[in-house]
Amino acid sequence: MRPEDSRFGLDDGHGHAGGQSHPKAGYAALALGALGVVYGDIGTSPLYALRETILAATGGEENATVPPTVVIGVLSLILWSLVVVVTLKYVVLLMRADNNGEGGILTLVALAQRSLGRARSHVALLLGMIGAGLFYGDTVITPAISVLSAIEGVKLITPALNDYILWIASVILIGLFLMQSHGTHRVATFFGPVMLVWFLTLAGLGIYHIADDLSVFRSINPYYALLFFRDHAGVALAVLGSVCLAVTGAEALYADMGHFGRGPIRGAWLYVVFPALWLNYLGQGALILADPTAIDNPFYRLAPEGLLLPFVIMATVATIIASQSVITGAFSLTRQAIQLGLLPRMEIRHTSEQTSGQIYVPRVNLLLLVVVLILVWSFRTSSSLSHAYGISVFGTMVVSSLLASIVIRRHWGWSLPATAAIILPFFLVDVSFFSANMLKLFHGGYVPVLLAMALTLVMWTWMRGTKILFDKTRKTDVPLLELVSMLSKSPPARVKGMAVFLTSDPETAPASLLHNLKHNKVLHERNVVLTVRSADTPRVPEEERVRLARITDDFWRVEMVYGYMESPNVPKGLAMLRKQGFKFDIMSTSFFLSRRSIKPSPQSGMPVWQDNLFIGLTKSATDATNFFQIPTGRVVEVGTQVTV
């Protein structure tokens, strides 16, 4: 990470992250937990993936005759997409690219930055912004399409409820987002067992119907996928755009690696999730071959009539769990983006005393809820909403492939031919899916694209604005050692206690220190110039958390380092200095913070509209006192005005 990125973290935005260590539990328990958190999204794809793909192949007509070759070809495409995209790319390859056990697209950014060096690290950072923006697009679409597709099953029970589907889905979604503020730790233990029952049900119903037409086993041969492209070239891209629905949620395997570990996530996929999904898709395909009218909703028609209502309820619960996983994923991504200097500080609350990684971001939660409800009422059906899906999913996957190529080439030290041989096939597959989904751009696909563009612009503006602000303030800064020397020669009046001045640049005198001397004309007995820095690793060992350097008997320089998955806690960090013989008493310590009032400047280097956007983001940043967990009664804020 660049030095200026560290600066961005203190004055203009850090991320809250859970400082939890990796869970110490048995393999089976972790694999069970992964079923509930990691695989909720991809585990509910059978609700709509096969139906939408076959409809795309037949021109969208539910009453159209479905040729057996289409069913077999589509099944083969879905099966081999699960093999290539999920199993080979994520489970086998990307899960090896971890940062101290953590995964996710911003982990790839951190690894790529580290290997590229300061001069070219902006390339990785820009890719990370785009990938993060696309991930948020996936986050708003997944709850909407998942819950809608589950609730639509009530039409098969009683058509009278058809007019209330949107209201039922809205109530469930509002309840889901309201639940976030209370934390998920109380119900999280139920997620794994519920999803285990769900996957066993998927497999059981699939096996029950495979006998309807055993020819579905031909889909194991990838030849039928290639044959489909040859015989149906006119709809091939549209079909690819729907096949991607079967692999949504693949990014979660990598993103949640730090919480459950590589082994349990891989085991859960290979021994439970993948077989269950495959068997269910085969069962749906056999049912359609035996009864073409089942194309209207092949998933729910797998269930015997007497079990339809319990099956709808179970599917609804599963989609809620799937939605929960992407919402918490958005919270995690937000705190990482803040820590990496891509977003301003936000209020982040911990919802569990046992697991500090369980967090709640009120502002993000509200924005997600509003956008999700707009999507539900705008598109009105899961089939219509499926057109908005895919671009964000495979846009993120394209970015992850590009970042992975940098990591493999630079960080792992592979040769260029070896890197190309391993990444190029995945990249071509991702680009093919992404290109196919671009056909949906004007039919709903614009939603994640616009969202990603807006978020990328926000992140770029924040990073650019903080860099300009850093460069401008540095020109007028007073070197800290020079100021200390002047104070030694001409000491001001002294007051008892210790003063802590927070700054992002330890080499220059904090503005709050200068203003305290200018207006109060006093200096404390002991003075600490404190810098909080963000590391490009998920966590920092406790023994490396705080560094103390003596300047004079009454001036000290302290640096605290936090990983991008940890929560900055200044009082706790200072208390750790007692082991080094440094006396610290919170009740006799005052913390001095600078509160900046930023005004636009014609010579800022950014357009006026971008200046105003940056100023707005600055004003929206969470108060540093709360962010660094400093007792409010011990804080003195000093206002300054700067132009950007």
DSSP class per residue in 73-135? HHHHHHHHHIIIIIIIIIIIIGGG--BTTB-SHHHHHHHHHHHH-TTTHHHHHHHHHHHHHHH
C-alpha distances in angstroms, 79 versus 133, 167, 287, 289? 28, 35, 17, 17
- The band of 268, judged by pLDDT with boundaries at 50, 70 and 90, is very high
Q: Residue 74's pLDDT is what?
A: 94
- Amino acid at the residue 604: S
- The band of 7, judged by pLDDT with boundaries at 50, 70 and 90, is very low
- The band of 12, judged by pLDDT with boundaries at 50, 70 and 90, is very low
Closest CA to 621 of 593, 591, 579, 584: 593
Closest CA to 46 of 258, 232, 274: 274
C-alpha distances in angstroms, 400 versus 93, 250, 452? 12, 12, 15
Between residues 623 and 175, the one the model is more confident about: 175
Kindly report, residue by residue over 102-137, the tens digit of the pLDDT. Answer: 788 888 888 888 888 766 678 888 888 888 888 888
Q: Residue 470's pLDDT is what?
A: 77
- Which residues are registered as beta bridge partners of 524? 495
485: its two tokens: 């020397």
Instruction: Name every residue whose Cβ is closer than 8 Å to that of residue 42 and which is 6 or more positions away in sequence.
Output: 86, 246, 247, 248, 249, 250, 252, 273, 277
Query: Mean of the pLDDT values across residues 282-293?
Result: 93
Judge whether residue 536 has pLDDT over 70.
Answer: no
Instruction: Name every residue whose Cβ is closer than 8 Å to that of residue 105 and which is 6 or more positions away in sequence.
Output: 128, 131, 132, 135, 251, 255, 333, 396, 399, 400, 403
- The band of 600, judged by pLDDT with boundaries at 50, 70 and 90, is confident
Kindly report, residue by residue over 379-419, the tens digit of the pLDDT. Answer: 888 888 877 877 888 888 999 999 999 999 988 889 999 99
What are the helix (H) ranges across 269-360? 274-290, 308-339
For β-strands 522-534 and 555-562, DSSP reports them as: parallel
Instruction: Name every residue whose Cβ is closer than 8 Å to that of residue 456 and which is 6 or more positions away in sequence.
Output: 129, 130, 132, 133
Q: How far apart are CA 206 and CA 226, in angstroms?
A: 25
C-alpha distances in angstroms, 103 versus 95, 100, 162, 537, 570? 7, 9, 42, 11, 27
Query: Mean of the pLDDT values across residues 362-368?
Result: 92
Q: Residue 185's pLDDT is what?
A: 56
Q: How far apart are CA 481 and CA 379, in angstroms?
A: 62
- The band of 159, judged by pLDDT with boundaries at 50, 70 and 90, is confident
Cβ atoms of 285 and 70 within 8 Å: the answer is no
- In words, the CATH class of domain 27-464 is mainly alpha
- Which residues are registered as beta bridge partners of 555? 527
Between residues 20 and 89, the one the model is more confident about: 89
Q: Residue 15's pLDDT is what?
A: 31
Mean pLDDT taken over the chain: 84
Domain chopping of the chain, boundaries: 27-464, 478-643
Query: Mean of the pLDDT values across residues 38-45?
Result: 87
Q: Is 221 exposed, middle or buried (0-12, 13-18, 19+ CB in 10 A)?
A: middle
Between residues 139 and 272, the one the model is more confident about: 272
DSSP assignment, residue 443? G
Site of tokens 């004003």 = 619
- Which residues are registered as beta bridge partners of 500? 528, 591
Q: How far apart are CA 641 and CA 636, in angstroms?
A: 17
Question: 16-30, 221-235, 370-384, 490-504: which has the minimum mean pLDDT?
Answer: 16-30
DSSP assignment, residue 271? I
- The band of 2, judged by pLDDT with boundaries at 50, 70 and 90, is very low
Kindly report, residue by residue over 67-88, the tens digit of the pLDDT. Answer: 899 999 999 999 999 999 999 9
